[in-house]
Chain A
Amino acid sequence: AQSVTQPDIHITVSEGASLELRCNYSYGATPYLFWYVQSPGQGLQLLLKYFSGDTLVQGIKGFEAEFKRSQSSFNLRKPSVHWSDAAEYFCAVGAGDDKIIFGKGTRLHILP
Chain B
Amino acid sequence: DTAVSQTPKYLVTQMGNDKSIKCEQNLGHDTMYWYKQDSKKFLKIMFSYNNKELIINETVPNRFSPKSPDKAHLNLHINSLELGDSAVYFCASSQVEASPLHFGNGTRLTVT
A residues lining the B interface (CB < 8 Å): 32, 34, 36, 38, 41-46, 49, 88, 90, 94-102, 104-105, 107
B residues lining the A interface (CB < 8 Å): 4, 31, 35, 40-45, 48, 50, 55-56, 90, 92, 94, 97-106
Q: Sort A-B residue pairs by CB-CB distance and give the 8 closest, nearest first.
A: A94-B98, A43-B103, A102-B43, A32-B98, A44-B103, A43-B105, A105-B41, A46-B100
Q: Give Cα A90 to B41, complex, Å.
A: 10
| A99 engages B48 (CB within 8 Å) | yes
CB distance from A101 to the nearest CB of B (A): 7
Contact A104 to B40, CB < 8 A, known contacts A43-B105, A45-B103: yes
Q: A32-B99, A45-B103, A100-B94 are in contact. List 16 more A-B contacts (CB 8 A).
A: A32-B98, A34-B101, A36-B103, A41-B106, A43-B4, A44-B43, A44-B90, A44-B92, A46-B100, A46-B101, A88-B41, A96-B97, A99-B56, A100-B45, A105-B43, A107-B41
| B50 engages A98 (CB within 8 Å) | yes
Residues on the A chain within 8 Å of B45, using CB: 99-101
